[in-house]
């Protein structure tokens, strides 16, 4: 599916918008398999209004800019080899064509957000990965527990629960959380989103 033209910052309840996104290519990413496309110089634009759109099948179900809003001469295809990275400003207008090839285009998104940036949505959990919190900016949550047999293993997972950052008031939440119920809720939300895009729910 295609990704319509959009600015990441229009999705995020952050103030100020001090965010840096790094996209690490796992596979080749080129024009044949739907590589990232950006509008040169658009990082200087103000953030535009986010609009829902499921009239065409697309990944996000929304956009900030139509094709007719775009200066075609400023479109840049970001072609990457495995191990290459691209770094994005939250205001840059970008998107991608659908991958119509028989090749996967996989990447890993990593974001850095300064501790001076406040998350304005109280329902959105915020975790301090590195550095020190600043009073009055965010209320940081505990790092989630590793659950053997449920979560994917990783280097150091055996000692993760002893090393993770803990906020005492969060621990009751982790104790009472029914992860099976949570997983079913996530699946339900995902299937509803896919249905909005015109897709079909896979059989269980």
Q: What is the set of domains in the chain, with CATH numbers?
A: 3-120 (2.60.120.620), 141-204 (no CATH)
Tokens of 168: 């005492």
Bridge partner residues of 77 (DSSP): 37
Name the strand (E) or helix (H) holding 25.
Answer: strand 19-25
| Residue 37 pLDDT exceeds 90 | yes
Tokens of 96: 């991608």
For 136, left (φ over 0), alpha (ψ -120 to 50), or beta?
Answer: left
176 band by pLDDT with thresholds 50, 70 and 90: low
For CA atoms 7, 39, 69, 4, the dihedral sign is negative
CA distance 146 to 189: 24
Q: Considering only residues 55 and 37, tell me which one the structure prediction assigns the higher pLDDT.
A: 37
pTM of the model: 0.78
Which tens digit of pLDDT belongs to each residue from 55-93? 888 899 899 999 999 999 999 999 999 999 999 999 999
1 band by pLDDT with thresholds 50, 70 and 90: confident
| Residue 20 pLDDT exceeds 90 | yes
Which tens digit of pLDDT belongs to each residue from 98-107? 999 999 999 9
Q: Considering only residues 15 and 171, tell me which one the structure prediction assigns the higher pLDDT.
A: 15
CA distance 104 to 160: 32
Supply the pLDDT for residue 196.
67
| Residue 200 pLDDT exceeds 50 | no
**Residue 52 burial (10 A CB sphere; 0-12, 13-18, 19+):** exposed
Which tens digit of pLDDT belongs to each residue from 115-172? 999 999 988 889 898 889 999 999 898 888 898 888 889 999 999 999 998 887 777 6
Rg (C-alpha) for the chain, rounded Å, is 19
Strands (E), 53-117: 62-63, 75-77, 85-88, 93-96, 107-113
């Amino acid at each position: 599916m295609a990704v319509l033209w959009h600015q990441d910052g229009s999705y995020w309840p952050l103030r100020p918008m001090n965010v840096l996104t790094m996209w690490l290519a796992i596979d080749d990413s080129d024009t044949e398999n739907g590589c990232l496309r950006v509008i040169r110089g658009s990082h200087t634009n103000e953030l535009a209004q986010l609009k829902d759109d499921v009239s065409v099948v697309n990944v996000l179900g929304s956009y900030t800019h139509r094709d007719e809003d775009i200066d075609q001469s400023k479109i840049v295809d970001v072609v990457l080899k495995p191990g290459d990275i691209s770094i994005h400003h939250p205001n840059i207008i970008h998107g991608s064509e659908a991958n119509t090839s028989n090749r996967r285009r996989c990447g890993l998104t990593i974001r850095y957000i300064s501790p001076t940036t406040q998350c304005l949505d109280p329902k959105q959990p915020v975790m301090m990965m590195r550095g020190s919190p600043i009073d009055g900016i965010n209320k940081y949550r505990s790092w989630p527990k590793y659950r053997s047999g449920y979560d994917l293993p990783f280097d150091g997972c055996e000692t993760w629960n002893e090393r993770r950052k803990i906020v005492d008031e969060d621990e009751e939440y982790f104790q009472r959380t029914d992860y099976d119920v949570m997983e079913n809720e996530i699946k339900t939300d995902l299937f509803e989103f896919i249905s909005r895009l015109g897709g079909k729910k896979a059989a269980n």
